[in-house]
Amino acid sequence: MRSLLSDHGHYVESFRLFLENSTEHQCMLEFIEKKLPGIISSIGNGRSTINILSVGGGAGEIDLQILKKVQAKYPGVIIYNDVIEPSVEQIINYKG
């Protein structure tokens, strides 16, 4: 069995197959629409910056949706977004 940590191409392909065969993104989008607004309301009041940590952010599709919601709630507030992602290819896509 190949290690996903040492073979980035295999990691990306495995993640793609996971997304195709799961409802993970649909569940996350439902969470973003239904639950996240209440959470966001409690994090930024009176702050000049908001720090967001993404763990396993992939190429950033879901993170982008979250960041848009935070930015809409707190326009003008600086948002720092740090990402932990083991795939170099995914990080490149994230930054793109």
In whole angstroms, give the CA distance from residue 91 to residue 96.
9
Classify 27 in phi/psi space as left (phi over 0), alpha (psi -120 to 50) or beta.
alpha
What residue spans of the chain are helical by DSSP H? 8-20, 24-34, 36-40, 61-73, 88-95
Question: pTM score, two decimals?
Answer: 0.78
Give 79's DSSP letter.
E
The CATH T-level fold of domain 8-95 is Rossmann fold (3.40.50)
pLDDT in the model for residue 2? 67
pLDDT digits (tens, 9 = 90+) for 48-66: 999 999 998 888 999 999 9
pLDDT at position 90 is 83
Determine the longest span between alpha carbons in the chain, in angstroms. 51
Q: Is the dihedral of CA 84, 67, 22, 19 positive or negative?
A: negative
